[in-house]
Structure formats: C-alpha cells, structure tokens
Amino acid sequence: MRFQASFSNSSLFILRHGYLVDFLFVYVDDIVLTGNNPQFLHSLIAQLSVVLELKDLGPLNYFLGLQITKTEKGLLVTQTKYAQDLLLRVNMHTSKPARTPCAPNTRLFPTDGASLSNPYEFRSLVGSLHYLTFTRPNINFAVQQVFQFMSNPTDLHLIVAKRILRHVHGTLHHGVFLQPGPLSLSAFFDSDWAGDPYDRHSITGYIVYLGYNPITWSAKKQDTISRSSTESEYRALATTATELYWLRQVLRDLGVFLPVPPKLWCDNVLALAIASNLVFHARTKHIEVDYHFVKEKVLRKDLQVKYTTTSDQLADVFTKSLPTSRFAFLHSKIMVSVDPMVLRGDVKGSTETQKLKIEEEDS
C-alpha cells in the first residue's frame, strides 16, 4: 500500500503521495491510523479489511489502557480506568490517599525487611505501576526505586510500592494535556550524584517537551559510578541529548522540521562550562565519549545547552524523593487535574457511538 517504515521507530509507517499524508502506528494487533483526508482513511481501512480481520473502533479515545479525550483546547491523555482496575485488583480501592508517591529522603536497600514468600504480587503490582508512568511522570522516580528489587522483594519494598498506589488513588483523574504550540524541543535534566546508597550509582532524570507538551521522561540509574557531581550531571546531559537526537529523527520522519535547535536546561554550572568549552581538560577525560558526543552536537548547532536555576529544574522530581510542597509544585508544572465528567466523554464533539465503542473494547 506504499507505506514506508520509519527509520527511527519500527512501529511507525508513513505514506506520502501528492498532498496525502498518512501515519499508521502498530502495536502487536492494535493500530492507530491518522491522516489529512478522511475519505482516503476509510478506503485504506477497507483495503486492510480484505487481508486482515479488523474492527474499526472509530475516533481515537481508548488505546492500550490510555484514555484520549478531545477538548476544544487539546487532548487529555489519562489512565484513570487502568488505575481504578489496578486498585480493585489489589483491594486498595478504599485505601487512604497519599500526597506523595514516596516519603521524603528515603532510600531502599536490598536487605530491608523480610523476603516475600510469594513475590508474584509485588512483581505484578510494580509492573502495573510502571505502565502507569506513561501518563504519570510524577511517579517515575518512585517506581524506579521499587523496580530494582523485582528479583528478591521484601515486605518493606511491598509497603513502599503500595504507597505509590495510594498516591495514584488520590490523583485518579490526573494526566497529561497536549495542546497546540510552537514547534520546538526542550528538555530539563538532572542527576542525583551517588544517589543510590547501596552501590553509589547516580540517578539520571529528564523530561522532554514538544512546545508546551511533555512527551517523554525517564528516571534511571547510570551504568557507571561517577567520581563527581559534575561528571554525573554531564552523563545525564549526554543521555538527554541522545533522547533529543532520536526525537528529532522521529519528527523528521513525520515531516516536521524544527526551526530552532533543541534546548537542554541544566542547573550545574560546571557541566554547562564543559559543554561550551572547546578545551578538553585532563580531569574530565574519563567521560571523553560523552563529552565528544555533546560537543559535536553543540558545535553543529543541533543542540543548545542553557542554564536554569535549581528551583526551576523540573527534572528534580525524577531523581529524588521530595518534600510535599516541592513535589506538589513540580507535579503542577507537569500534569493536569481533569474533571471526571470530561473523562466520561461529556465534552464537545463526543458521541454516544464513541462511548459505546470504548465500553465494547473494555469488555
């Protein structure tokens, strides 16, 4: 059918023919199809139906546990139903909500608590929480912490995982809001030097914005031990730069070209200086690969590295457990609270047919 596979994403297929532009995204046996000509989309679905047994669920509103609600201002992406089903499954639908996903300044050790006789409950719960991070970046760090103990979880690790679920219970109708805006990529990144008290690996956290919209985020331990906070920060810079470079390739495949280079916002003055300084210092040669990767992108003007204050560093929420006030501030900058009536489809443009299709797929 003349679709071409994307070079940067193996699940994305693109068709360009004259003025026609169509995108087809496949995940196993679920497909999202969009384009600039509705009549052509219908004919394309008919062609696919000849060779595949298809079920057209109509306008996109439920996909792999993600609820997509169209409003006059943009798209709301939530996982309210998925979270409610998870709470019911683990019998926590009447639990007391927690204001934060983890207690401030807490770190976990493999030896904390007694080993679980049946670790399946923990592994199932943490796996489900990991899936919730697709629309809940605020729990990403907490989930990363408990995810480290999947092989030998303890009763204390289970308590910490259930606290995350209690926070989800109190924020059931929170999600990510996508709205029209400038075609620009920007990223906030941070690191917690030697943040893991067990092996002293640092933790990298970042969040990437397309215009006003958060589109990808991560909280992950670094592969190697950093000898200074500057080194851990620079490794976080290189990781975020790699993500931005990939996202730029995805956008090019989609036919979207950025008018200005992506910006990376850093709160470490020394890391910023290394990225801008053409002289390679002896004290930093053990991070030479990361240095040359970032330097090349900066020199070619593929990236801009800018300074931001620590108080304005949004990636702070991905690297450590924060006090309630700080967590609430960053939460409000990343996510939105959605009126439950909106999630039920009571917005302009929704129809009973669309809601019936959602219920049919849920069943």
Superfamily in which the 182-308 domain is placed by CATH:
Ribonuclease H-like superfamily/Ribonuclease H (3.30.420.10)
pTM recorded for the entire structure? 0.84
User: What SS3 state is found at 261?
Assistant: coil
Separation in Å, CA 222 to CA 22, 110, 111, 154:
38, 18, 21, 24
Q: What is the dihedral of CA 282, 285, 286, 287, to 10 degrees?
A: 140
Residues of the chain with CATH 3.30.420.10: 182-308
Task: Output DSSP code: residue 97.
Answer: P
Name residue, tokens 């899936």. Answer: 131
Q: Which helix or strand (DSSP H or E) is residue 288 part of? A: helix 288-299
Per-residue pLDDT of the chain in tens (363 residues, 90 and over written 9): 889 999 999 999 999 988 899 999 999 889 999 999 989 999 999 998 998 888 888 889 889 989 999 888 899 999 999 999 999 999 999 989 999 999 888 788 888 899 999 999 999 999 999 999 999 999 999 999 999 999 999 999 999 999 999 999 999 989 999 999 899 999 999 999 887 878 899 999 999 999 999 999 999 999 888 888 888 888 899 899 999 999 999 999 998 899 999 999 999 887 887 776 655 555 555 565 666 677 777 778 888 989 999 999 999 988 888 888 999 899 888 888 776 655 555 444 333 333 333 333 333
